[in-house]
Amino acid sequence: MTDNHHHSRAFNRFLLPHAHLTFTFGDDWFARKAELFARFFGTPFFLILQTVIVAIWVVINFFGFVHFDEYPFILLNLAFSLQSAYAAPLILLAQTRQAERDKAHSEADAQHREDLARASDERQQLAVKQTSLILEMLQRNTELTQTIKTLSEKLEKLTREVHGKVMT
């Protein structure tokens, strides 16, 4: 599994709680196709294609044998008006849908960061608690060592006294 694929799976795991969110204009066939169409308007291919079509249109009508839209190209202006009448709302729809996706991703990312911060705080609190327990155990160990030393000294003193009385 690649690192990028793993990151994608991990990120999607945090998006699952937001899966219930619906897009502003729905997620039906029309909304998806309208968004694809609106995204097409911003591509270099569309701009080049439109420029070629307009150039052919002008050449055919100005210099050609067929004159279906003579100068000042009223039919071409009508086509541009119709195109912009549809393009503007479709582009707005695509932007709104993208904003909804960005919002869901942002919320998921913020929740993920909160979860990480909470887990980090919990680990830090556990580390502080464990450090405190270790220090307490060391203190008790030191006290026990001191008690054993004192008892050993007393035992040695008693052993000498008993040994001294037995030998005399």
| Collapsed DSSP state (helix, strand, coil) of residue 61 | helix
Predicted pLDDT of residue 22: 54
The 10 Å CB-count burial string (b at 16+, else e) for 44-66 is eeeeeeeeeeeeebeeebeeeee
Predicted pLDDT of residue 81: 95
Domain ranges of the chain: 3-137
Six-digit token pair at 38?
Answer: 């609106």
Residue 69 to residue 67: CA distance in whole angstroms: 6
100: how many CB neighbours lie within 10 A of its CB?
Answer: 15
pLDDT digits (tens, 9 = 90+) for 32-77: 787 888 888 888 999 999 999 999 999 999 888 888 998 889 999 9
Residue 31 has pLDDT above 60, yes or no: yes
CB 25 within 8 A of CB 96: yes
108: how many CB neighbours lie within 10 A of its CB?
Answer: 19
**Model confidence band, residue 27 (pLDDT cutoffs 50, 70, 90):** low
Q: What angle do CA 30, 35, 40 make, to 5 degrees?
A: 125
